[in-house]
Structure 1
Amino acid sequence: MNKTFKIYAILFAIVLAVLALLEFSKNEVTDWRKNFEVDKKSPFGLYIFNQEAGNLFKNKLKKTEESPYYYYEEGKKYAPHNILVILREFDTYSWNRILQQVSEGSDAMVIAERFPRHLSDTLKFQTSMVSFDEQQKLKFTDKKFVNDSLNLDKLPSGNGFIYTQEENQILGKLIDKEKIPQPNFLKVKHGKGHIYLHSEPLFLTNYYLLKRGNEKYLENVFSYFPEREIVWFTENSSVTTSRSPLRVILANDALRYSWWLLLAGLLLFVVFNAKRKQRIVPVIEPLKNKSAEFVKSVGNLYLQEGDFHDMMAKKAQYFLNKVRMELMIETQILDETFAKKLHVKTGTSLEKINEAISLIKKAQDPYAPVMKEDLIRMNKILDEILK
């Protein structure tokens, strides 16, 4: 074990010790998130409801971890029964299976803060935020339940029904400090059965069920169900139980943080250790640009040959091509019109342009005598025109 590894191990042990001390000394914080999970004992979990549901429904409750699409086999007839859906997000096919069962005589109760668009379009209703008050009350419209209201004093959603058909029966309302009742519990007829819609799931949570008297509201809500088998599509049915060997570690916050810290420490050790032992990367010189050397060699070749006429012809051809492409001037006839156009677009004097035309014509004539001085003069003038 080398010295570097010992240093890393000591630092890692110190960090673990500090984290352990912080973990043991910290105060437990209440989780006020609205998780609505059947196995959560936090204020807004459904642990108590899940434990008491069997007694509430007189042992006629059947929980399933399947979606309605797979639970109800296509073409199979089912005896009329009750269906319970609490804050589940199903696909359209699953909702169609539920609606089919209701139309054949079953009853369904859907409890959610927001309802899927497919369900609201089919049953002709709309929901929205109807109250922003922190203190709200849930009451029934039936006179026999008039004393069994429920006070919401912690994070009410304030959702209600802003539109519903006249034939739909309003079973409950939400009342805020303005004392303006808004429907939040509906009974909708669908085929041979009924669908009950409740827009405030907080009455099912641990926080409210632990308050004395609130259980009466819950019992009254479900009293609208006929006494028969109830199929509850539980909230965690869409989550497959983890089979990972690390499920115990990942389920506990302290163990999970320690696990991730361990992995991060190992990763840092590998990175720094590999960096120290990496071989030297050889320096590769980039390829040099030898274009200038090539041009110089070609130029020297022409000078050695002494073919000034050919060099003038190539220079003239290059010049005329640039005039055509950049200045958009026709170069087929080098006359007075061409000279004026070139004069206008370049600003070069007509005298210099005419001299350039004369040298270009001389370069284009294969029998014209050409001197070195002609090439130099022509090159200078053409470069000045196109500068």
Structure 2
Amino acid sequence: MTAYRKYIALILLLFVALVLLDYFRPKPVDWSETYTREDKIPYGTYALYEVLPGIFKNEPVVSVREPIYNQLEDSTLEGNHIFINKAFEADSLDVNLLLDFVSRGNQVFIAGERFSSFLADTLHFDTAILQSTNPDSTALVFTSQPQARKYTYPPNENSWFIEVEEQAGHVALGRNKAGQLNFMKVPFGKGTFYISSAPLAFTNYSLLTMQQSTYAATALSHLPVQPVYWDEYQKQGRPDDQSIFRVLMRYQALKWAYYVGLAALVLFLLFKSKRTQRVIPVLEPPRNATLDFVRVIGNLYFNTGNHKNIAEKNITYFLEYLRLHYHVSTTSLDSEMQERVVAKSGADATQVNEIFRLIHSIRQSKAISDQTLLQLNDYLEDFYRQTSTRPRAQV
């Protein structure tokens, strides 16, 4: 037993050491592209959101956690609406309100690699990927500053560029070194859309690690200084939409853990249902209820104190026993009948005489004592025991 305790203690010690090692080891860098203003990971937008008040001086910066339709159904709303995400997703209702918002003289800034087909079709543009890791071909430059410094796109990332229809009225504001459009201005009504295909250029990695904060500031400086509405709905959803499944789906490690857990549960159920036999119920052997019944009846007669009644029933059973086993007539309990019982049963003659003497005495008495009842029972039990082990006489 002591050896088992040592093994258990060793296993617990190793488990605690593993937990502490995992807790204190350097955390791996999370390269998830969240683009949320609260994330300080490389591809969050915490740094950009913090510098927005400096770009739009004395103007409020509001984080929006409502769908576009809910936010812009108020037709009196004015300002700059900024969307920075991997993909800009909006249905026809959202896009119609966004177009109406811009046509009234407001501005919308959208940075993403892919865009809603409703918006892209209306503004006559599309995006495509430039599969190249050469910094010279993917570097970003502003067309208004052709001799200025170039901004390197995050390494090992593919660059997206914008394809526009000819004669569509788009104004190029930025290109990559390959000459492909990645930032443009699209007038619409009294306002303007600003479309960028380089959302990673606005993340913490670009602003802090690559020391390229001026690119984001220059791109956003095209917007007029007025209230700013920063969209967080397409990245985080509504404030009350924070279920555990949303958190699991947000992080790659938790998402895979969730999928693996579900798969393991399904496999467990499948194999467990096939390999485990149903529980076999324990069947109790049938009880001899006759003995219980006799015991209850006997206790009932004995407790009432009617010993003669019990003795009469024992005598009746004894005489029935003689008739069935030895074919002796019990009509008259005379000496001749007693001799036949001795001859056929092989019992001791003295014993048989005592039994019948006691029977006569009981029948002539109005009541008997418990000692007499016990004596009768002992005589009869002794007779049954002796005659059952002896061969029966043939007459």
Tell me, in whole angstroms, the C-alpha distance in 1 between the residues paired with 2:54 and 2:133.
34
CA distance in 2, matches of 1:244, 1:218: 33
Mapping 1:156-195, distance limit 5 Å: 156-166=157-167, 167-175=169-177, 180-195=178-193
- 1:220 is paired with a residue whose SS is helix
Structure with the greater alpha carbon radius of gyration: 2
1:53 counterpart residue number: 52
Aligned to 2:322: none
Deviation at 1:17, TM superposition (A): 2.9
Q: 1:290-329 maps to which residues of 2 (within 5 A)? A: none
Partner of 1:155: 156
- Once the two structures are superposed, residues 236-267 of structure 1 have per-residue CA deviations (whole angstroms, 9 ceiling, x without a partner) of 4415456779999999989xx8xx99xx99xx
Tell me the residue number matched to 2:222.
Answer: 224
State the identity as a percent. Answer: 25
Letter in 1 for 2:159: G
Paired position in structure 2 for 1:348: none
Separation (CA, whole Å) in 2 of partners of 1:50 and 1:210:
13
Against the structure 1 CA distance between its residues 158 and 243, is the aligned structure 2 distance closer, same or farther, given a 3 Å change threshold? Answer: closer
- What code does the residue aligned with 1:28 have? K
Residue by residue, what CA displacement relative to the aligned partner does 1:341-378 show, whole Å, maximum 9, x if unpaired? xxxxxxxxxxxxxxxxxxxxxxxxxxxxxxxxxxxxxx
User: Is the CA contact (8 Å cut-off) linking 2:154 and 2:201 kept in structure 1?
Assistant: no
Residue 143 of structure 2: aligned partner: 141
Secondary structure of the corresponding residue to residue 193 of structure 2: strand
**TM-score normalised to structure 2 length:** 0.55
Residue-by-residue CA offset, 1:135-163 (whole Å, 9 max, x unaligned): 221100003x7425311242333110123
Question: Equivalent of 1:233, from 231, 236, 247?
Answer: 231
1:1-387 equivalences under 5 Å are 17=16, 19-24=18-23, 26-58=25-57, 59-73=59-73, 76-78=74-76, 80-87=78-85, 88-135=88-135, 136-143=138-145, 146-166=147-167, 167-175=169-177, 180-211=178-209, 213-234=211-232, 235-241=234-240, 279-280=279-280
Does the residue aligned with 2:206 lie in a helix, a strand or coil? helix
Q: Verify the 8 A CA contact 2:133 2:155 in the aligned structure 1.
A: no
Q: Which amino acid aligns with 2:223?
A: F
Residues 185 and 156 of structure 1, relative CA distance in 2, 3 Å threshold: same
C-alpha displacement at 1:40, in angstroms?
1.8
Change (3 A) 1:71 1:213: same
Give the whole-Å Cα distance in 1 for the aligned partners of 2:222 and 2:196: 12
Matching residue's letter, 1:183 = L
The runs of at least 4 aligned residues of structure 1 exceeding 4 Å deviation read 9-16, 241-254, 275-278
* Contact 1:130 1:160 (8 Å CA) reproduced: yes
Q: Distance in 2 between matches of 1:79 and 1:219?
A: 24
CA distance in 1, matches of 2:240, 2:110: 25
Letter in 1 for 2:105: G
Distance in 1 (CA, whole Å) between partners of 2:247 and 2:174 is 43
**1:172–1:243 Cα change, 3 Å:** closer
| Unaligned ranges ≥5, structure 2 | 283-395
Deviation at 1:219, TM superposition (A): 1.2
Aligned-partner residue type, residue 204 of structure 1:
F
Assess, with a 3 A threshold, how the Cα gap between structure 1 residues 35 and 12 changes in structure 2: closer, same or farther.
Answer: farther
Give the Å deviation of 1:211.
Answer: 4.2
Maintained 8 Å contact 1:185/1:198: yes
Contact 1:85 / 1:109 at 8 angstroms: preserved in 2?
yes
- Partners of 1:215 and 1:15 in 2: CA distance: 47
Kept in 1, the 8 Å contact 2:80–2:227? The answer is yes
Question: Per the alignment, in what secondary structure is the counterpart of residue 70 of structure 1?
Answer: helix
Contact 1:148–1:216, Cα closer than 8 Å, also in 2: no
Aligned residues: 259
- With over 3 angstroms needed to count, the CA separation of the structure-2 counterparts of 1:171 and 1:277, relative to structure 1, is same
Task: Pick closer, same or farther for the CA change 1:155–1:223 going to 2, 3 Å.
Answer: same
- 1:85–1:110 CA contact under 8 A, matched in 2: yes
Q: Is the 8 A contact 1:124 1:165 kept in 2?
A: no
1:39, 1:133 → 2: CA distance?
A: 29
**Which stretches in structure 1 are left out of the alignment for 5+ residues?**
1-5, 283-387
Q: 1:170–1:246: structure 2 CA closer, same or farther, 3 Å change rule?
A: closer
Partner Cα distance (2:246, 2:108) in 1: 35
Matches of 2:246 and 2:118, distance apart in 1: 36
Q: Which residue identity lines up with residue 202 of structure 2 in the other structure? A: L
Q: CA deviation at 1:91?
A: 2.4
Matching residue's letter, 2:50: Q
Deviation at 1:56, TM superposition (A): 2.6
2:16 corresponds to which letter in structure 1?
A
Distance change in 2, residues 1:30/1:110 (3 Å)? same
Are the structure 2 counterparts of residues 95 and 11 from structure 1 closer, same or farther at C-alpha, using a change threshold of 3 Å?
farther
Q: CA, structure 1 residues 51+190, in 2 after alignment: closer, same or farther (shift >3 Å)?
A: same
When residues 44 and 155 of structure 1 are mapped into structure 2, their CA distance, relative to the original with a 3 A threshold, is farther
Query: Matches of 2:204 and 2:95 in 1, distance apart?
Result: 28
Let me know the Cα RMSD of the aligned residues: 4.2
